[in-house]
Structure 1
Amino acid sequence: MKDPYVIVREDLHRRYEQYFDAEAIDGVLDRVIAEAEATAKIKTFLPVLVERTAAEELEDMAVDINRDGDSRREILFVCEKNAGRSQLAANITHHLVGDRVMVRSVGLNPTGGVDSQVLQVLQERGISTDHIYQKEIVPRTVHRSNVVVLMGVDEVPGIPAVRYVHWDIEDPAGQSIEKVREIADEVEKRILVLLEEIGKAPKEGASEVA
């Protein structure tokens, strides 16, 4: 039987790994799961309640030991195919700030593979493309991003977020390599503004346009 808390555990590790080791996070989560399952009559929505309770406890623990209780910010980039714009945005963001911001990208209808011109431009900027692959959008009720950035997507997908942002960015599909470089520069400029808004400065020397 599939573990219903796999995504919950993954999310908590990503959000709090810079504050606590894996054993501490798992300890809190496992205890909360045991307590919730012992008292719940209906278990359909337990993952939602468990993550909320465990996250609140981890936040309180961080404050109690005089650490910054503000968890790592998460940005989710969304475009139609997860082949161009969202890949540029996610990988440039990670290049700029590393693991200080959790970055994800997804597509509404991921088909055709990641654009080869996009991969080339990322490589030109010193960004590894070995790990890049298309990811389908999966509505999740157990976790929400701080910011969801929509590019070329008219409707807000069924993903929870604190804030939704629409970026009018050209699709790199079918464009010349020179045009894709321009699109990457425009994406990075918008990322820098967004990072400033959430209080995360880029690493020194990481930006191509600053």
Structure 2
Amino acid sequence: MPISRRGVSTAAAMLAFPAQAQPARPTPAKPRSSPPPSPDATPLTPADGQILQRLLEGAPYVSQGQGRVLYARMSARCGYCQLFFRDYPNGLPGVELRYLLFPAKGASSRSTLQVMRDRSMKTFESYMRSRAGEDSRPLDNDADIDLMNALIRYTQAVNTLMQRQSPPQLTGTPTWFFEHNGKLYSDMGYDRAMFAAFHRAFVA
């Protein structure tokens, strides 16, 4: 549910983030004819995949490393996200990890906004270590409320796309998004052995 902005409903708030937060569109990956690197990954329909790709590219992600792009939707209050971050504090060789924030219930909005504005690994690491609970004061200015509403509506839009697939896809954390064979795939969860196998196949 979006946050009210000084008593005015923000139900019609746009999905786009501020212009300065828009990243450059990456060069599309070359199609691969091999099977997807995760047997559990599910491709989105072509039309929804294009929509989701634009949403992912327009979100204020935090980038780590260089190589094939893997989007990782994370929450500091997610135990599996914390485990992944402890296992791979320096990222994944051969991969550009793009961390996306998931506005978890009970998480500090101020901590989330700090990551969105700064978009540095240092700030993101602090966010993950703190479990996003160090500052629970409510947002008190219109700019912060509008930015948080943009994140909430972006998250709702991504969830809607995933849930209307057949079968409907899960929408929690961690969620992974990647391109393969010209299609956009999603996968969810974290298991050490399975993720290590995924990583090997992903960069092969």
TM-score (norm 1): 0.32
The structure where helix makes up a greater share of residues is: 1
TM-score (norm 2): 0.32
Rg larger in structure: 1
